Amino acid sequence: MTDDVRPAASLQPRSQASLPLLRVLPGLPESASTARRLARDLLGAAHPALDTVALLVSELVTNAVMHSLSALPGGTVTLALCPGPTGVLIEVCDNGGPASPWVAAPGDGAEHGYGLLLVDALADSWGTVVGPEGRLTWCRVLDSGAR
């Protein structure tokens, strides 16, 4: 008999054991770094799309905080990461606001305004759904071998 008792999932490679992640984060700028950490922890260092997913998660959470009612006191941002056999689905839901997200070119020398340009360039597909409870922006990142 052994004292080493671990769940079967811990014996599998991380890519097979990864389950979807759902977290409600405060509508604060530092939630972007929390979201990046969550993505890295979920996917693991060897995941082929890790860097792209981490960047896009950070951009989408930052946009949700900066451009929605989530930034108001008590506001939240909900992050869902759904890893699958060919890639990762990222969803970020905010508390809504006056306008839907759009891709716009930032002005010369701008330090901000590149978020959705990056999403558009790096994600294999993306979109936004607006409803009475808020706005959901999603993107799908395929593993490099699945393209």
Q: What does the CA dihedral 96, 88, 24, 60 come to, rounded to 10 degrees?
A: -40
What pLDDT digit, counting tens, does each position of 62-100 carry?
999 988 999 999 999 999 999 998 899 999 999 998 665
Poorest-confidence range of 32-36, 95-99, 115-119?
95-99
Q: Look at residue 38 and tell me if it is in a domain.
A: yes
Q: Look at residue 56 and tell me if it is in a domain.
A: yes
Residue pair 36/54 in contact by the 8 Å Cβ criterion: yes
Q: Look at residue 1 and tell me if it is in a domain.
A: no
Give the residue-averaged pLDDT of 1-14. 42
What pLDDT digit, counting tens, does each position of 36-71 carry?
999 999 999 999 999 999 999 999 999 999 889 999
Total domains, the chain: 1
Q: Look at residue 93 and tell me if it is in a domain.
A: yes
Q: Look at residue 3 and tell me if it is in a domain.
A: no
Q: Look at residue 6 and tell me if it is in a domain.
A: no
* Domain span holding position 105: 15-146
- Which CATH number characterizes residue 41's domain? 3.30.565.10
Please, what is the end-to-end C-alpha distance for the chain in angstroms? 46
